[in-house]
Chain A
Amino acid sequence: MAEMVVEASMALALGAKLCRPKVVSMYPITPQTHIVERLADFISNGELDAEMIHAESEHSAMAAMIGAAATGVRTYTATCSQGFALMFELLPIMAGNRLPGVMSVANRALSAPINIWNDHSDAVSARDQGWIQIYCESTQEAIDTTIQLYKVSEDHNVLLPAMVCIDGFTLSHVCERAIVPEQGEVDEFLPAFKPFVTLDPDKPVSIGPISFPNTYMEFKKQQHDAIMGALPIIQKVHDEYAKKFGRAYGNGLIEEYRMKDAERAIIGMGTLCGTGRIAVDELRAKGEKVGMIKLRSLRPFPVKELQKIAKNLKGLSVIDRHVSMGFEGPLCTDVRSALYGSGIEVNGFIAGLGGRDITVDRLQKALLSTKTHKQGEWLL
């Protein structure tokens, strides 16, 4: 175990390295680039024994990742924003072929207008494509989640790819204190990858066939069952990790902050939860019974866990860093659906698009909005 002040991108690269991926495919894009640059350093120096594929686009980086995963090795890539959008076609193909692997996403806004700063419009837009998506608040959480998600992704009851989402710049370029586990400890926690099938001339299989209307739905149902079934596995792996390394993030799916007697709360994902803690503390000091729910796992969505944490609330304000154009924030839709019939007032706020600061006062405004039955709004 090494404690250090480290840039989150470097920390993610260290976390990925500890998992010993054999093939790292990559294409540079801001603000993800630091992650793959550090991995390139490790490979170049001989600290990581892996093949790096310098793809000519993110689309090809993902195509190569799928090829390597199907061959039976542990794979890693990272991207965001336009690069993520370019990969989009292949995301459901990796998941549909039930291939494990981990991708870091340094969440960044989508063009136009072109903008290199943080929001969640890239990854959240792909929430229906069969990847596990976990959003992280801190550098430490990003390292720990990377290691956990390899184990979840490769579990033979899951066999699905997973994204570790960190806020671009807001987290990716921030230097903070973090504990980097020892290689030996990670090796004990994360055994060598045991693929379900491989592309092996001695045992030929066909992967990626055409499925007609009489079989397609069964494939999709199995895939959906697998990602729903990942809920307890994410929790279990998180708990094992917490036991071994001494760090926990709620129950692995969802984390609560000062929720015990809270009447009102905000729910959000990623770094805004750091600001949320301060917003809650300040209002608590003024006697307001408020709390915060940090959602880690957007997919699979922990419906029951959210219902349990929220059950005594009067109002819940959802902070979305993305808007489903023509409706509302997608997280708000998910939360409303999960809490339907509970009587809890759910209010949706759009905040932090394209790197706009999410400040303490803006979150407090959202926190108290349900008290006066105010409508949700854009926190401009």
Chain B
Amino acid sequence: MIRGLPEEEYFAPGHRACAGCGGALALRHVLKATGKNIVVVQATGCMEVVSSPYPETSWRVPWLHVAFETAAPTASGVARALKTQGKEDVKVVAFGGDGATFDIGFGGISGTFERNENIMYVCNENGAYMNTGMQRSSATPFGASASTMPAGKKIPGKKELKKPVALILAAHNAPYVATASVCDLNDINRKVKKAMAIKGPTYIEINSPCPTGWYCDSAKAIEVARLAMQTRIAPMYEIENGKVTITHDITEPKPVEEYLKAQGRFKHLSPEQIKEIQGQVDKEWAKLKKLQDAGCEL
């Protein structure tokens, strides 16, 4: 129990997520903020599998799972149907992991945002296809080892940067886009409440540790998530009608090495690679600052 957060639980205990799962924590706290007047549409993935082993369910709100890449378009169908039923007060919340969001379902999300559908999309971002075993996604961080891009003698882990989905969706003229982290549950609560109050497509990307896939101590999952924020690897910001605000200004960032060293997926990194990652993180942070300070609309 965290002071100030609702006591109601709409994501029931007894689900089958791993110890230290950031995704389950994110779901639970998103639902505390949304309250029960919602319909959840979920993409295939860990969170779908662990929460719905027939005949059990962890969902105390109406829940629909269709396929891996369809959370957003299916949510569109639900939202429009609710509109015809005169139930526009019921918010449709789509959940997907980063594989569902950044890769296979991205076209459907883009279409949903372009159509200005009244849905909130929440991405549980842990940087790989964790349900199928830590395969590379376009959210996998630079340098990380993934099961389909293992760090070897020739290839030193992922060579590409994470796809900037939050910024891309903000560029769809979405009224609200935010990043958040399970290391700050009050902030998730605040951002979800904000998104819930807005009519139109909103997006919240929650950085959440997957101890199984990150090869980190499950007891320290939240610490690792906090390091992602403190090193500026996972910057926390919101974009309201195109205007960027950094919600957690990290004035004295920790070196990225502290975050990287806590996880087995980065254990192969050379000092040069770590330096390169530090350079990328500094550059991205500077870009975000510039966007914020310019005050112009994306």
User: In the complex the two chains form, is A67's CB within 8 Å of B84's CB?
Assistant: no
User: In the complex the two chains form, is A212's CB within 8 Å of B75's CB?
Assistant: no
- A63: interface (CB < 8 Å): yes
Chain B 19-58: CB-based contact to A (< 8 A → 1; otherwise 0):
0000000000000000011110100000011001111010
In the assembly, what is the distance between CA of A221 and CA of B48, in Å? 24
User: In the complex the two chains form, is A199's CB within 8 Å of B39's CB?
Assistant: yes
- B90: interface (CB < 8 Å): yes
In the assembly, what is the distance between CA of A71 and CA of B107, in Å? 23
- A59: interface (CB < 8 Å): yes
- B78: interface (CB < 8 Å): yes
Contact partners of A63 in chain B: CB under 8 A? 66-67, 70, 73-74, 77, 108
User: In the complex the two chains form, is A206's CB within 8 Å of B52's CB?
Assistant: yes
Interchain nearest-CB distance for B172 vs A (Å):
12
Interchain nearest-CB distance for B61 vs A (Å):
5
User: In the complex the two chains form, is A22's CB within 8 Å of B111's CB?
Assistant: no
User: In the complex the two chains form, is A199's CB within 8 Å of B62's CB?
Assistant: yes
**Size category, B interface:** 35 or more
User: In the complex the two chains form, is A206's CB within 8 Å of B76's CB?
Assistant: no
User: In the complex the two chains form, is A67's CB within 8 Å of B73's CB?
Assistant: yes
- A53: interface (CB < 8 Å): yes
Q: From the candidates A67, A71, A72, name the one contacting B66 in the complex (CB within 8 A).
A: A67
Interchain nearest-CB distance for B42 vs A (Å):
8
Q: A interface vs B, CB < 8 Å?
A: 22-23, 25, 49-51, 53-57, 59-61, 63-73, 75, 89-90, 93, 97, 198-201, 203-212, 215
User: In the complex the two chains form, is B78's CB within 8 Å of A68's CB?
Assistant: yes
- Apart from A59-B73, A67-B78, A71-B81, list 5 A-B contacts with CB within 8 A: A90-B66, A203-B62, A204-B61, A204-B63, A206-B57
Given contacts A55-B111, A63-B108, A210-B53, contact A204 B77 (CB under 8 A): no
In the assembly, what is the distance between CA of A97 and CA of B41, in Å? 14
Given contacts A205-B62, A209-B65, contact A66 B74 (CB under 8 A): yes
In the assembly, what is the distance between CA of A212 and CA of B53, in Å? 7
User: In the complex the two chains form, is A206's CB within 8 Å of B63's CB?
Assistant: yes
User: In the complex the two chains form, is B54's CB within 8 Å of A210's CB?
Assistant: yes
Contact partners of A25 in chain B: CB under 8 A? 77
User: In the complex the two chains form, is A23's CB within 8 Å of B81's CB?
Assistant: yes
Q: From the candidates A50, A61, A201, A203, name the one contacting B84 in the complex (CB within 8 A).
A: A50
Q: Can you show 12 pairs from A to B with CB atoms below 8 A apart?
A: A51-B81, A54-B115, A60-B111, A64-B77, A73-B85, A93-B66, A93-B67, A204-B63, A206-B57, A207-B62, A209-B65, A210-B49
Q: Which residue of A lies closest to B79 (CB)?
A: A67
Q: For chain B residues 107-164, which have a beta carbon within 8 Å of chain A?
A: 107-108, 110-111, 114-115
Contact partners of B55 in chain A: CB under 8 A? 209, 215
Q: From the candidates B52, B64, B69, B83, name the one contacting A199 in the complex (CB within 8 A).
A: B64
In the assembly, what is the distance between CA of A59 and CA of B53, in Å? 26
Contact partners of B83 in chain A: CB under 8 A? 51
User: In the complex the two chains form, is A90's CB within 8 Å of B70's CB?
Assistant: yes
User: In the complex the two chains form, is A67's CB within 8 Å of B64's CB?
Assistant: yes
Contact partners of B61 in chain A: CB under 8 A? 201, 204
User: In the complex the two chains form, is A23's CB within 8 Å of B80's CB?
Assistant: yes
Q: Which of B37, B65, B81, B82 is packed against the most chain A CB atoms within 10 Å? A: B81
Contact partners of B69 in chain A: CB under 8 A? 59
